[in-house]
Structure 1
Amino acid sequence: MHDDAEWSRPSPGRSGLRADAGLALVLAIASVTTALLYARTGMYPGAAEPWVWAVGLGLATLPLALRRRYPVPVALVVSVGFFVCGQFGVPEVLIINICLFIALYTVGAWERRRGLALWARLGIGVAMIVWLVITLIIASSSSDYFEGISRSGIFSAYATYAVIQIITNLLYFGGAYFFGERSWNAARNQALLEARGRELELERQTSAAQAVALDRLSIARELHDVVAHHVSVMGIQAAAARRSLERDPARAAEALTVVEESAGTAVDELRRLVGTLRDPSKEASAPTTIGLAHLSALVAEAQSSGTPTTLIVAGEPRPIPMLVDVALYRVVQEALTNIRKHAGRGATAEVRLRFGEESVEVEISDDGVRQELAQRSRGSGLGLRGMRERVGAVGGTVQAGRRERGGFLVRAAVPVAPVSSGSPASPTAAPVG
């Protein structure tokens, strides 16, 4: 972002320099033409020598070719040319006045050092006014200037003419100052608006990229939770069916039934996920089978897959926000999946759901053998990372690690404001059955 105090107008570029050179050339030719016309009228008796014409008109016009690159030096040179023309009788007043105005305007509009711009214009303006006043004083005592104009009295015709000249010059220099400052401020404000526009566009692109990344992260978590859970169940049951296929066909058939059901459930959840991605408006109306109200089904599924699991609910169940409900359910689902994968044969699991006054907490523990814990620690960590991301998104925390008496423990807690009896309920989970 540009700072007002540090902003500097960019260089005009080649096209700008070519335009200034063309302007200077046009003004030089115009000044010579008008000078010849003024000389022809006979209004300037005793006109200066041609070389004085060349010096005065050249200094007043040609330096404007570099006016935007060197504003203050050009203004000083043009002022000298203006003085030469006026002091030594060059018969030209129109074009050189235009040139001086352009030079002073350019100092205000293009000089990057604002202090220098101020003092340069002030100095040139004061010098010109002083020169004018001295010239008027000298002319007031000489009858050769303005013959026939009364000079007697404070309110004489000549005094009135002098006042008009001073006022005209003050307006002239004041106008050059005003329009130069206005151009500088307009360019600065435009640059600030463009810089803010670029920053807003960059922020928009960053926000869009972050939104895409968050969506990808959410999809990755959902796929991991759905696929990992059901595939682990299918793997365990398929292994059980293989081992008992010959000696206990009925048990093998039962295990294969669980595999079939898990595969169907996984496909249904994947279809629901894909349908939500294709049409987000269906998310609110789509039936859901996840949430703390379905923990008993999740525990039963873990038991049927060969991991004895107990569900304990502490505290008074109460409605909680849907996002918290789903996040805690996914934590339990992922933790039970990890138990089946890593805790080893014969391990048992326990799921505790606690409803506190200001929080809801789930705790999943197992008594898996210690040699299996190292394998759990060497895993990809995607499951634990997904837990922390889900629970962190709703303001909660996740703790995971070994238990002192053996096994592994995952604890997730989310602050939930207590619901007063008279307040209306927001989208919530049903009580645990």
Structure 2
Amino acid sequence: MVPTRAQSRADLGLAAVVFVGALISATLSAVAGMYGADQADMPLTVAYAFVLAVPLALRRRWPATVAVIVSAAYFLAVTLHIPEIYAGNIAMFIALYTVGAWSLDRRRATIVRIGIITGMFLWLVVVMFIDATQDLPDGVDESFSRAGAFSPYVAYTLLTILLNVLYFGGAYYFGERAYQQMRERRALEERTAELEREREVTAAQAVALDRVRIARELHDVVAHHVSLMGVQAGAARSVMAKDPTHAREILESVESSARDALSELRQLLATLRTPGGEPDTDTAPTTRGLAAIPALVEEASAGGMPTRFAVIGEPVPVPEVAQVNLYRIAQEALTNARRHGGPGATADVRLRYTPTIVELEVSNTGRMAAAAPGLGQLGMRERAEASGGTLELGARARGGYLVRVRVPRQDAVAAHV
């Protein structure tokens, strides 16, 4: 981890505060005579304050090194009777905390802290042992009485140990806790950034899917009606001289197909213009489902390709989306049959209900299409998958072409939820 400029400035300010605090503490302690005649001179005290404070300005960059330097300076200060321990205690606590909070090498952080804490406790035990076993010079009174099993001196010793345990334990614990919080915060930031990236990707995918949906709908509407009008117009031209009445009927069908195409395009545009993709109630398009397939068959027959329709099995409820997709697949299959089947082609449309699925089959007796799969076949496959079904298409062995789609029944879908 690299500290920010603000954190580096804060550490520089902390070092300055500790340096000034150490000088003030040392001056006051010297005046108070902390070590009596044995206390160190002021130049050594200033040097100690400098060594104690300056490394704290770099504590986040090299936490382990700073902790070792500060701890060593504190040890020498007490050993050399430098009249300053309070700022040293604060500096060492901060250094130990920083090792736990900022060191990325956790093994090294643990070794450094345990090593410093162990060394300090060994030093404390040695000092306490020497103090307990040495004889005081004549005429010097003890600060605490040593009389009794639980004397004031023993109580003072235990209090000293307890304070050191709380001191070093607190530095260790708070450092570990700060590191864990930092990791959790970083994980949260990474997750937030990941979610933001996923949101952007999802938005882009939604736009792409909308474009695909619009293209598919336009293809289904335009290709079907334009193809039908082309066939009807050709038929009208061929019989116009011989049978004007029949030609007029065919042209009326062309007009009707044109109106239907414009109506569907208008409905599609009304849906796209509505916020959220939901059409207004006044301009909502009529849902084209399985009930509209017979009209589609009649339209194909009127366009010059005899088409039969059959329903097999007992009709059951089918999800609305699946109905629309099945209708569009039938529409595309009949459009391709008229376009590629050739003269004399016929078609059969079968709607079959089974206990688990609804199957739509569109077959024709014309020649096999030589063209490569295009947007129409891709759209049919996408519609089948969108309804949770499967699509089969290809040339039949006995001639012609077959399109078969199977989608689950509504009650079968509900039974698996």
Could you state the TM-score of these two structures normalised by the residue count of structure 2? 0.90
Alignment-derived partner of residue 384 in structure 1:
377
Q: Which amino acid in the other structure matches residue 336 of structure 2?
A: N
Alignment-derived partner of residue 394 in structure 1:
387
Alignment-derived partner of residue 79 in structure 1:
71
* Structure 1 position 307, deviation (Å): 1.1
Instruction: Tell me the distance in 1 between the aligned counterparts of 2:73 and 2:161.
Output: 20
**Deviation per residue, 1:227-274 (Å, 9 max, x gap):** 111111111222233344444433332222111111111111112222
* Structure 1 position 417, deviation (Å): 5.8
Q: Which amino acid in the other structure matches residue 292 of structure 1?
A: L
Between the two proteins, what is the percent identity of the paired residues? 49
Alignment of 1:220 with 2:212, yes or no, is no
Larger deviation: 114-123 or 398-407? 114-123
1:6-405 matched pairs, under 5 angstroms: 10-45=1-36, 46-50=38-42, 52-140=44-132, 141-143=134-136, 147-279=142-274, 280-282=277-279, 286=284, 288=286, 290-370=288-368, 373-374=369-370, 377-378=371-372, 381-405=374-398
Instruction: Tell me the distance in 1 between the aligned counterparts of 2:144 and 2:381.
Output: 97
* Structure 1 position 136, deviation (Å): 2.4
Instruction: Tell me the distance in 2 between the aligned counterparts of 1:359 and 1:146.
Output: 103
Alignment-derived partner of residue 411 in structure 1:
404
Q: Which amino acid in the other structure matches residue 365 of structure 1?
A: S
* Structure 1 position 418, deviation (Å): 6.0
Distance 1:325 1:43, change over 3 A: closer
Distance 1:40 1:389, change over 3 A: same
* Structure 1 position 289, deviation (Å): 5.6
CA contact (8 A) 2:317 2:410 kept: no
**Deviation per residue, 1:131-162 (Å, 9 max, x gap):** 12222222332426874532344433332222
Larger deviation: 182-191 or 408-417? 408-417
Instruction: Tell me the distance in 2 between the aligned counterparts of 1:168 and 1:325.
Output: 79
SS at match of 1:312: strand
Larger deviation: 21-30 or 406-415? 21-30
Distance 1:369 1:43, change over 3 A: closer
Larger deviation: 162-171 or 331-340? 162-171
* Structure 1 position 87, deviation (Å): 0.7
Q: Which amino acid in the other structure matches residue 65 of structure 2?
A: P
Supply the RMSD in Å over aligned alpha carbons. 2.4
SS at match of 2:402: strand
Instruction: Tell me the distance in 2 between the aligned counterparts of 1:232 and 1:296.
Output: 19
SS at match of 2:350: strand
Q: Which amino acid in the other structure matches residue 356 of structure 2?
A: E
CA contact (8 A) 1:351 1:364 kept: yes
Task: Mark the runs of 5 or more structure 2 residues left unpaired by the alignment.
Answer: none
Instruction: Tell me the distance in 2 between the aligned counterparts of 1:241 and 1:398.
Output: 36
SS at match of 2:345: coil
Kindly indicate whether structure 1 or structure 2 has the higher relative contact order, using CA contacts under 8 Å at least 6 residues apart. Answer: 1
Distance 1:323 1:399, change over 3 A: same
* Structure 1 position 73, deviation (Å): 1.4
Could you state the TM-score of these two structures normalised by the residue count of structure 1? 0.87
* Structure 1 position 405, deviation (Å): 1.7
**Deviation per residue, 1:292-343 (Å, 9 max, x gap):** 2222211111111111112222223333222222222111111111111111
Instruction: Tell me the distance in 2 between the aligned counterparts of 1:148 and 1:223.
Output: 99
**Deviation per residue, 1:82-132 (Å, 9 max, x gap):** 011101110111111111111111111111122222232222112112212
Instruction: Tell me the distance in 2 between the aligned counterparts of 1:319 and 1:166.
Output: 81
Larger deviation: 47-56 or 271-280? 47-56
Larger deviation: 47-56 or 15-24? 47-56
Distance 1:146 1:393, change over 3 A: farther
Q: Which amino acid in the other structure matches residue 99 of structure 1?
A: A
Larger deviation: 285-294 or 202-211? 285-294
CA contact (8 A) 1:59 1:80 kept: no
CA contact (8 A) 2:317 2:409 kept: no
Distance 1:289 1:171, change over 3 A: closer
